[in-house]
Amino acid sequence: MTEGAAAETPALPSDTVSFAHASERQFARLLDFYQIEWDYEPTSFDLEWDREGSVVQRFTPDFYLPMYDLYIEITTLNQRLVTKKNRKVRRLRELYPGIKCKIFYQRDYLSLVSKYGLENVSG
């Protein structure tokens, strides 16, 4: 490498994943910055079945943090959809009591964006 030439920065995990929402990418970048290992939507949990035993409802939290054995669901959506997610997380806890799952609400997300000087990407 010649003097003054910049070394190529390796891609961060948050640069290699196709996220469903911009807020998820921002959250992943924050985790990358603090070198917190994460997986994006690694597990789907069956929540409801029909009479034949076929799954009719699943819940896939956005992130899993292996070091903390914790799932994170980011929600920056309107209140009606937040209520639906709250119901899913309650059901998850009933059916899988050993699973830890935390919901980050819009206010939590906006607080992180503000605290860490991240751009506000709520759409």
In a domain, 90, yes or no: yes
Residue 27 maps to a domain = yes
Contact 44, 58 (CB under 8 A): yes
Total tally of structural domains belonging to the chain: 1
pLDDT of residue 7: 58
Domain containing residue 33: CATH number: 3.40.960.10
Would you say residue 1 lies in a domain?
Answer: no
pLDDT of 122 reads 47
Q: What is the mean pLDDT of each run of 10 residues along the chain (123 residues)?
A: 57 88 87 93 97 97 97 81 89 97 82 68 46
Task: Determine the pLDDT at residue 8.
Answer: 66
Burial class (CB in 10 A: 0-12, 13-18, 19+), 20: exposed
pLDDT computed for residue 121 by the predictor: 47
**Helices and strands, counts by H and E, the chain:** 3, 6
The answer to whether position 122 is within a domain reads no
In a domain, 8, yes or no: no
What range does the domain containing 39 cover? 16-115
Is the pTM above the cut of 0.75? Answer: yes
2: in domain: no
